[in-house]
Amino acid sequence: MFQPNLMEALEMGQNTSESEVPRIREDEFDSATKSGSENHEGASGEDQDPRPNKKKRYHRHTQHQIQEMEAFFKECPHPDDKQRKELSRELGLEPLQVKFWFQNKRTQMKTQHERHENTQLRTENEKLRADNMRYREALSNASCPNCGGPTAIGEMSFDEHHLRLENARLREEIDRISAIAAKYVGKPVVNYSNISPSLPPRPLELGVGAGFGGQPAIGVDMYGAGDLLRSISGPTEADKPIIIELAVAAMEELIGMAQMGDPLWLTTLDASSTILNEDEYIRSFPRGIGPKPSGFKCEASRETAVVIMNHVSLVEILMDVNQWSTVFSGIVSRAMTLEVLSTGVAGNYNGALQVMTAELQLPTPLVPTRESYFVRYCKQHSDGTWAVVDVSLDNLRPSPSARCRRRPSGCLIQEMPNGYSKVTWVEHVEVDDRGVHNLYKQLVSSGHAFGAKRWVATLDRQCERLASAMATNIPTVDVGVITNQEGRKSMMKLAERMVISFCAGVSASTAHTWTTLSGTGADDVRVMTRKSVDDPGRPPGIVLSAATSFWLPVPPKRVFDFLRDENSRNEWDILSNGGVVQEMAHIANGRDTGNCVSLLRVNSANSSQSNMLILQESCTDSTGSFVIYAPVDIVAMNVVLNGGDPDYVALLPSGFAILPDGTISHETGPGGSLLTVAFQILVDSVPTAKLSLGSVATVNNLIACTVERIKASLSGETA
């Protein structure tokens, strides 16, 4: 029988876990690991009576006892104390004997399961290796159907990766069967589906932490989200197969998201927009980049429009990081291609794949930018539709300070007659927006600040602008219309650079260091300085930028019309000194009369002052508007109007960004406006000079006075 001191210890520690109970030594239970039919009467050798002369006793269970415990094991492999005591009473055994028998039986089953699983995985591995060899042989013997010559593997499309996906699904089936078996033996199952079940587990020798589980990788130390674009390098060789398979899976999801209707996308009560049914999304697309991080919110939107550009040009804009940044300069503050994994095949972007970083912005210093590390994949589908998809790679380079993840987002582009294209845009992100200023919370939380509608509206407006630049049949009836083709192109190129410069300098980009001035007359004014040296597009010296954002109880369209109208300019423009502003020339940029490039002349009231020219571009769509301007040299503008190179015209753009406040309703119509005012002033023409406090005070007073004049004029309109 058991020793009393051991039994007392067991009764006192009934609540301890199995791992804390001393294990039976294998040499005392060698037969138990084979059949589960033998067990020692006592506990482990460490807890036995240390008397050396006492011979160890063994106890062989009867066939009846084994059969009963086997039957009970099938129903319950983990009996509790009460069940063990009841079994021991029925079978004439001690509870500890029953406990050890079940423990050994579980060990035996676990060993058998692992042996079977290893055999199964080995067989599957051999099959995959044979498939791989077959594909390699087929590729090496492949020939071009056009010329009969050998094909270059680097030019193959990504269709073959669907075969890899199929192999991965077979691995999933093995994992599923293993999980069912593990349920009965208590073996934990490692799940690699956080990223995508189609991805194989990463080899341990890569030296990354827990890999896809969201743990930071070794050697990737992020110093803050602001360093994202500067610190992330291109993918490693080991990452590339994973990136490819993730891109293929993301493409499938994007097409589904773009084409599915109810119940995935639900129409709002006012029928003005659609919202994503998150539960249905998880059911429809169980594969993905893992669950939503804690504290993050989901933003999902979809928008469709017909734009005046052919599908080939649209794909080229999206796949060329410079064109993409230019066309979407109001949204993309910085972007970079880290590595091109494929340039596509047959001389186009079909199959093109590139790893990128980008920083997305709202034109105000009060909303943090959204930085992403992602892969962009372009594919031509059989029905003549092209698709371009982005999906985050943050799990390959985890950063605890990252505030945004892009689930599969992008657009489907369908060719239409007469050079038009139908674009369906899906924007799906998870973001931590707790850093957003209260003034912009409503707009951002509504999803309109960074949603699909803003991307599509910007694209539509820019396509009209590009069509205008290419136009040749310009009507000459209007006075001031520039009909010279080369002059139009040069002036529009100069205005485009002005807009890009303004947008890049007004946001909360991590490339900027804004300083907030206290005790100002206007809402928080933020300033920053930079030195301009050897830049032909900017005047040399110290430039002081100042910006502020505030709310106006006036619809955005009225604010836009007021600010772009040269007849009301002297109401707010202090630098015009009350002079009469006259439009000398303009270029229409689309259907909306507010979309145009203008050349304005300020006829000063003081005849001794020389007249000043102002280049201005105004642009508007349903999601926001800009009025951006810069003083320009008369001689330089004459060169531009005659088709000269605009890159050597020095510009310091200032202006306004007008956004809706997000409170549109059918009862009251459009809500108020969120207006950002930004000035750039050359405070010293010597780049090495030090900034004086007087210069800061002057610019601060200038912006505060401008804000007060705008408020007074617009409140007078509403009164």
Residue 290 phi, psi (nearest 5): 100, 170
Segment 575-587 shows an average pLDDT of 81
Answer yes or no: is pLDDT of 392 > 70: yes
Helix 95-140 crosses helix 161-185 at what angle (to 10 degrees)? 170
pLDDT of residue 150: 57
Query: How many beta carbons lie within 10 A of that of residue 42, not counting itself?
Result: 21
pLDDT of residue 618: 95
Q: What is the pLDDT of residues 333-383, one digit of tens each?
A: 999 999 998 888 867 888 899 999 999 999 999 899 999 999 999 999 877
pLDDT bracket for residue 700 (50, 70, 90): confident
pLDDT of residue 467: 85
Q: pTM value?
A: 0.67
Q: Which residues pair with 427 in a beta bridge?
A: 301
Q: Name the residue with higher pLDDT: 135 or 439.
A: 439
Q: What is the share, in percent, of the chain residues with pLDDT greater than 90?
A: 25
- CB neighbour burial string for 7-39, b if at least 16 within 10 angstroms, e if fewer: eeebeeeeeeeeeebeebeeebbeebeeebbbb
Least confident residue range of 159-163, 471-475, 555-559: 159-163
Segment 199-206 shows an average pLDDT of 30
Q: Provide the token pair at 666.
A: 């059918």
Q: What is the pLDDT of residues 38-64, one digit of tens each?
A: 444 444 444 444 444 444 455 678 888
H/E stretch holding 297: strand 297-307
pLDDT of residue 343: 87
Residue 165 phi, psi (nearest 5): -60, -40
Answer yes or no: is pLDDT of 519 > 70: no
Is the CB of residue 505 less than 8 Å from the CB of residue 655?
no
> What is the C-alpha to C-alpha distance for residues 192 and 178, in angstroms, rounded to an integer?
14
pLDDT of residue 205: 28
Backbone torsion region of residue 590, taken as left when φ is above 0, otherwise alpha when ψ lies between -120 and 50, otherwise beta: left
Q: Which residues pair with 630 in a beta bridge?
A: 615
Segment 564-588 shows an average pLDDT of 84
Query: How many beta carbons lie within 10 A of that of residue 172, not counting itself?
Result: 15
Segment 197-206 shows an average pLDDT of 31
Q: Provide the token pair at 537.
A: 């597009």
> What is the C-alpha to C-alpha distance for residues 168 and 288, in angstroms, rounded to an integer?
14
Which DSSP symbol is given to 508? B
Answer yes or no: is pLDDT of 287 > 80: no
Residue entry with tokens 């269709």: 159
Least confident residue range of 108-122, 507-521, 561-575: 507-521
pLDDT of residue 214: 32
pLDDT bracket for residue 28 (50, 70, 90): very low
Please give the domain boundaries of the chain with CATH numbers for all domains: 237-469 (3.30.530.20), 471-716 (3.30.530.20)
Least confident residue range of 410-414, 419-423, 691-695: 691-695
Q: DSSP string of 554-621?
A: S-HHHHHHHHH-GGGGGGT-GGGTTPEEEEEEEEE-SSSTT-EEEEEEEE-SSTTSPPEEEEEEEEEE
pLDDT bracket for residue 154 (50, 70, 90): very low
Q: What is the mean pLDDT of the chain?
A: 77
Q: Could you give the angle at the alpha carbon of 455 between the alpha carbons of 453 and 460, nearest 5°?
A: 90
pLDDT of residue 557: 93
Which one of 96-105, 396-405, 650-659 scores highest in mean pLDDT? 650-659
Q: What is the pLDDT of residues 210-239, one digit of tens each?
A: 232 332 322 222 223 344 444 566 777 777
pLDDT of residue 149: 58
- CB neighbour burial string for 352-379, b if at least 16 within 10 angstroms, e if fewer: bbbbbbbbbbbbbbbbbbbbbbbbbbbb
Segment 191-218 shows an average pLDDT of 31
> What is the C-alpha to C-alpha distance for residues 141 and 143, in angstroms, rounded to an integer?
7
Strand pairing class (385-392; 404-406): unpaired
Q: What is the pLDDT of residues 60-108, one digit of tens each?
A: 788 888 888 888 888 888 888 888 888 888 888 888 888 888 888 899 8
Query: How many beta carbons lie within 10 A of that of residue 452, not counting itself?
Result: 27
Q: Which residues pair with 336 in a beta bridge?
A: 357
Segment 466-486 shows an average pLDDT of 70
